[in-house]
Amino acid sequence: MPEFQSTPGMRDILPPESARWRHFQAVFSAVVESAGYGEIMPPMLEDLGVFQRLGDATDVVTKEMYDFVDKGGRHIALRPEQTASVCRAFAQHRPPTPWKVYYAGPNFRHESVQRGRYRQFDQVGIEVLGADDPYLDVEVISLGWEFYEKLGLERVVLLLNSLGEPADRSAYVAALYAYFDANRSSLSPESQITLDKNPLRVLDSKRPADTLLIASAPRISEFHSPAAAEHFATVQQGLTDLCIPFTIDTKLVRGLDYYRRTTFEFIGETLHSAQNALGGGGRYDGLVEALGGPPTHGIGFALGLDRTLLACDDEGVFPTPNDDVEVFVVDTTGGRHASRISAELRNAGMRTDRAFENRSMKSQMKAADRSGAIVTVIIGSNEVEAGTAVVRPMRGEVDVNRQREVPRETLISEVGKALIQAAQAGNTKAAPSP
């Protein structure tokens, strides 16, 4: 066992799995770029205060933050999420509104580690700042839905709620507090503590002691102002127009404090209920202001990459893309020819690997096999003397008659032809060459 291992909750993403991660992000970018979102790359560290604006009743802020004082004496933190960074960036740069951005990258929360819950985890997400239109809520939610469809996931459920206007939310929080406080002794000890910090979060509890009380707690919908009710009705209508199925969940309050009005979550039905939220989001009018910007409406979501890939595994969709090379070069004359031939093949757009350390023909052919290449180029002293090289198709049944010795000058185009033939014969799982 080596002295060092990656620390708990932080994993190495190795090839070929890393190719799947990149592909995930590429599919997401394509979906949201098609709707006019541009990529923002916020820094991974911010002043601690940026994240403290997320609210002090949030575990993410109070318990899970990786924060430290840097060498310049600044108290900074590794981002636990990116909505606060996007709002900080908006307040700093004041771009024209509506500002539609997306992001992809790691976040850090010191959580207890289990399947689907890590300390470094990746998200993709979008945020829109500066528009209050309920059809924007519809657009945002539908892009998340479309993305899951693009991945091939079928067992995703969309939960929808509205937390009302700030005044509705406050009245509701007061009513919830009164209700739970009257039944305090029946609540679990953990929820009794949560109640004094943030009564809404008691609704999140899945502890058996709390479930009965939660089931008959007041519902937010009873507190919606006419404006909030109308906004919510339009969102529901808009989703129905787009044939996006949803379930109203009046207990959906979400883990972060900043939400107002529309909130939503995408649930992966195949995952364990403690970690089955594939992603979620909502409106957070007020966060930009809390970060020193003008009053600005905001809405967005973040989808957890790690968990979504677990759901993909469960459903057998979105497999790891094949990143095998297409060509492997075997050189039994020392390696110099392989060097030049590989460079030429790569320049011509063919993914090419080669053997090193002048191994035997047998061992190089084994390496060619392992590489998954579709075609192997073989060059030995006979070929060097004759000014030729051998092109050998690898996949499927190796037919020695299809192995051909070709002039060195036409080698690159012959390999190209062999790849096309293999693709036509369906004898490739590799991505097509450019």
Which amino acid type is present at position 286?
A: G
Nearer to ligand HAM, 159 or 378 (CB): 159
Query: How far is 82 from 43, CA to CA, in rounded Å?
Result: 9
The distance of closest approach from Cβ of residue 146 to ligand HAM in the complex, given in angstroms and rounded to an integer, is: 17
Q: Where are the beta strands (DSSP E) in 319-371?
A: 327-331, 352-354
Query: How far is 187 from 195, CA to CA, in rounded Å?
Result: 9
The distance of closest approach from Cβ of residue 395 to ligand HAM in the complex, given in angstroms and rounded to an integer, is: 38
Determine the longest span between alpha carbons in the chain, in angstroms: 94
Query: How far is 274 from 123, CA to CA, in rounded Å?
Result: 18
**Residue 101 near residue 205, CB atoms below 8 Å:** no
The distance of closest approach from Cβ of residue 113 to ligand HAM in the complex, given in angstroms and rounded to an integer, is: 8
Q: Nearest residue to ligand HAM, using CB?
A: 304
The distance of closest approach from Cβ of residue 46 to ligand HAM in the complex, given in angstroms and rounded to an integer, is: 13
- Tokens 């968990």 belong to 307
The number of helix segments (H) and strand segments (E) in the chain equals: 16, 16
- Tokens 């979008």 belong to 126
By CB under 6 A, name the binding residues for ligand HAM: 81, 83, 109, 111, 116-118, 121, 123, 125, 127, 255-256, 277-282, 284, 300-302, 304, 306-307
Q: Which residues contact 432 (CB under 8 A, 6 or more apart)?
A: 423
Nearer to ligand HAM, 148 or 223 (CB): 148
The distance of closest approach from Cβ of residue 230 to ligand HAM in the complex, given in angstroms and rounded to an integer, is: 22
The distance of closest approach from Cβ of residue 80 to ligand HAM in the complex, given in angstroms and rounded to an integer, is: 8
Nearer to ligand HAM, 98 or 335 (CB): 98
Question: β-strands 352-354, 67-69: how paired?
Answer: unpaired
Query: How far is 260 from 248, CA to CA, in rounded Å?
Result: 16
Nearer to ligand HAM, 204 or 344 (CB): 204
Nearer to ligand HAM, 84 or 228 (CB): 84
The distance of closest approach from Cβ of residue 192 to ligand HAM in the complex, given in angstroms and rounded to an integer, is: 24
Q: Where are the beta strands (DSSP E) in 45-85?
A: 45-47, 67-69, 75-78
Nearer to ligand HAM, 121 or 318 (CB): 121
Nearer to ligand HAM, 302 or 338 (CB): 302
